[in-house]
A and B are shown apart, each in its own frame.
Chain A
Amino acid sequence: MILGDNLFEKFGKVFKPGEIIFCEYEIGNTFYFILNGIVRITKIVGDTEKTLDTMGSGDIFGEMAILEQQPRSATVIAQTEVKALEFNRENFEMLLQSNLQMALKLLKIFCKRIYDAKRQLMIITLDESDYRVADAFLLVAEKKGVHTDERVSVELKVPLDELANMCAISMDETKKALTNFVRFNKIELIGESIKINNISEFLRMVTNKRKVAKHQARI
């Protein structure tokens, strides 16, 4: 991707290794395009800082700020020296016009995000926590490219807090749901990961639940 030097003059920023670019819960209206270097996306959970992802040159982060001024959902820290372009809502149209490839990239990010958000919404609109956890399994499996309609066993690495978060239920409720599934031999807990014995069972369970709910809504 070719970006003129004049863009860097106007919008360029250099971050030192270890420097925070923005912090979770801070209100921000800027987003970034990495020219050079690596950033780490982190979140503090309890007493530990967890790395969710790393990004490098050509990647965009903080793009949700274009949509609305919500608190940042994660912290971004420069891992190496990072050269980036910093934009805000006012000048982003200019950026996109000068760089259609980036606009296209953003379009793809939005498509993915819309789907992810819809998928999450589907999980949390289920009534009972067992079903939510089941649907969260399906989501994680789908993301791994698993065909959830096939009778296959799948091993998923999802930390408990993340699972609870996806389902919008407490850790205790999540544990309870997992224990239920273990008791009925649907899953096994192996160290950090969850082994699903037959993922299509979960798909059937969630699909049926949705059908019933839909039917009841119509009556």
Chain B
Amino acid sequence: MPIARNYKPGSIVYFEGDKNSEEIYILQNGKIVLVSSPIIQTELEVKETITNGEFFGVKSALGRYPREETAQVITPCVVLVLTQDEFEQMVLKNFRVLLKMLKVFSNQLRRIGKTVRDIMHKGEPKMPSTELFYIGEYYVKQGKADQAKYVYEKYLSSYPDGQFADTAKQRLDAVERGDLRVEPVPSLKKEAAAPAGGDVMSFDQGAVPGLQAAGGAEEKKPDGVRSATEGIDVTKKYYEGLSLFSQEKFQEAIDIYQSIAAMTKFKDETTAKFAEKALFELGRCQMKLNKPLEAIETFSNLIKKFQRTDLLKDALFAIGEAYEKLNKYDKAINFYQKVVNTPPKESINTKAKKALEEAQKKL
């Protein structure tokens, strides 16, 4: 049976760092504050007030690790003390409580996970699509046909317009014929240190046979453009492009934006942001000139190049529109659906939902 314990103001239920943290508590009456030291030193202490009926000390007890915070008693309190078994008996009878805890914990986990990822990937961002493709390559090399087949199929369904889509198709055909002796794709050259804070990646694109054919781009980038990154004032060019766009000089705007699009390194985050926007504008110009295939490539490129772009949904939506222009309604629907499914719910989600319904009628 759970026991009730009384605490006087100023006393402590447990200290941060206490081991053998087996007890779980429910505050029945009074006020308790949980104080924890910040993980990132520049931040302030975190204080959380427990209200009547709330559980505390759950995570450290269930996870069997030291207490993460100090539970300070503010006013006279009555606290119900549970053993782990008693806690389990109690929540197993109460799905609502259990579900609520799951939601609170999963939110915390998501937040911390994001912080960890942000710090970890600052140095060397990895592109899931590229990495996935390479796992396929690994299995081919190992002679594991079934596994390779699975990975290539996943690659093609997840990234139909991906950088390696054509190569993946070739591989898949070969593997299905039982041919595992495919020439490996020369390793992509990942440029070692990306500037801190930027999402910038660069690839030695010439090394991949499938790349240039993908998306049906007609113009190949001239060699050497990639390295000519210094000396271009991205912000200025971006605005020049905008002005040309408003004068309906789309081809001239395209020329300007393409010089930005060829860049792979940016001197700071603001510049990168403008390059991101420029890429989006490039796609818009291509749409204006009725070149949906090129626009699709540009927008896909934008998503690939700036993985955490704020323009993600806009780019996905634009790809949908481009496919509509090509009368490929099924593909268009696919991309609109992606926008609809991507939280948070904003006006573009509603817009995509409408476009999706319209496209379905045309299908």
Contacts and interface: CB of A to CB of B under 8 A. Distances in A.
B270 to A, nearest CB: 25
A97 interface: yes
Given A111-B62, A114-B109, A25 B135 contact: yes
Contacts of A217: 41-42
Interface stretch (A3-11, A118-126, A183-191, A192-200): A118-126
B109 A23 contact: no
A49 interface: yes
Given A68-B110, A217-B42, A25 B119 contact: no
A115 B68 CA distance: 9
A53 B327 CA distance: 48
A117 B102 CA distance: 17
Nearest to B137: A44
B123 A168 contact: yes
Contacts of A24: 131-132, 135
Chain A interface extent, by class = 35 or more
Interface in A29-56: 44, 47, 49
A104 B91 contact: yes
B41 A67 contact: no
Interface string B111-124: 01101100110010
Given A106-B102, A121-B39, A111 B146 contact: no
A19 B146 contact: yes
A26 to B, nearest CB: 5
B119 A168 contact: yes
Interface in B138-156: 138, 142, 146-147, 150-151, 154
A121 B112 contact: yes
A114 B106 CA distance: 9
Interface in B81-124: 88, 91-92, 95, 98-99, 101-102, 105-106, 108-110, 112-113, 115-116, 119-120, 123
Contact of A49 (B120, B132, B138): B138
Nearest to A16: B146
Contacts of A49: 138, 142
Given A23-B151, A114-B108, A104 B98 contact: yes
B151 A20 contact: yes
B136 to A, nearest CB: 9
A110 B92 contact: no
B105 A110 contact: yes
A151 interface: no
A18 interface: yes
A113 interface: yes
Nearest to B133: A25
B58 interface: yes
B98 to A, nearest CB: 5
A25 B40 contact: no
A23 B154 contact: yes
A177 interface: no
A26 B41 contact: no
A162 interface: no
A41 to B, nearest CB: 14
Nearest to B122: A168
B109 A110 contact: yes
A87 B106 CA distance: 17
B53 interface: no
Among B109, B132, B151, residue most surrounded by chain A Cβ atoms (within 10 Å): B109
Contacts of A113: 109
A184 B39 CA distance: 29
B203 interface: no
B128 A107 contact: no
Given A23-B150, A67-B106, A117-B109, A111 B58 contact: yes
Given A96-B99, A111-B58, A210-B41, A124 B128 contact: no
Contacts of A104: 88, 91-92, 98
Given A23-B151, A103-B102, A121-B112, A115 B59 contact: yes
A110 B98 contact: no
Nearest to A209: B41
B239 interface: no
A216 to B, nearest CB: 8
B336 to A, nearest CB: 17
A92 to B, nearest CB: 10
A108 B63 contact: yes
B186 to A, nearest CB: 15
Contacts of A18: 146-147
Interface of A: 18-20, 23-27, 44, 47, 49, 66-68, 71, 75, 77, 93, 96-97, 100-101, 103-104, 106-108, 110-115, 117-118, 120-122, 124-125, 168, 210, 213-214, 216-217
Interface of B: 37, 39-42, 58-60, 62-63, 65, 68, 88, 91-92, 95, 98-99, 101-102, 105-106, 108-110, 112-113, 115-116, 119-120, 123, 128-129, 131-132, 134-135, 138, 142, 146-147, 150-151, 154, 158
9 smallest beta-carbon distances between A and B, as pairs: A111-B63, A71-B128, A25-B132, A110-B105, A117-B112, A111-B62, A25-B131, A213-B41, A25-B128
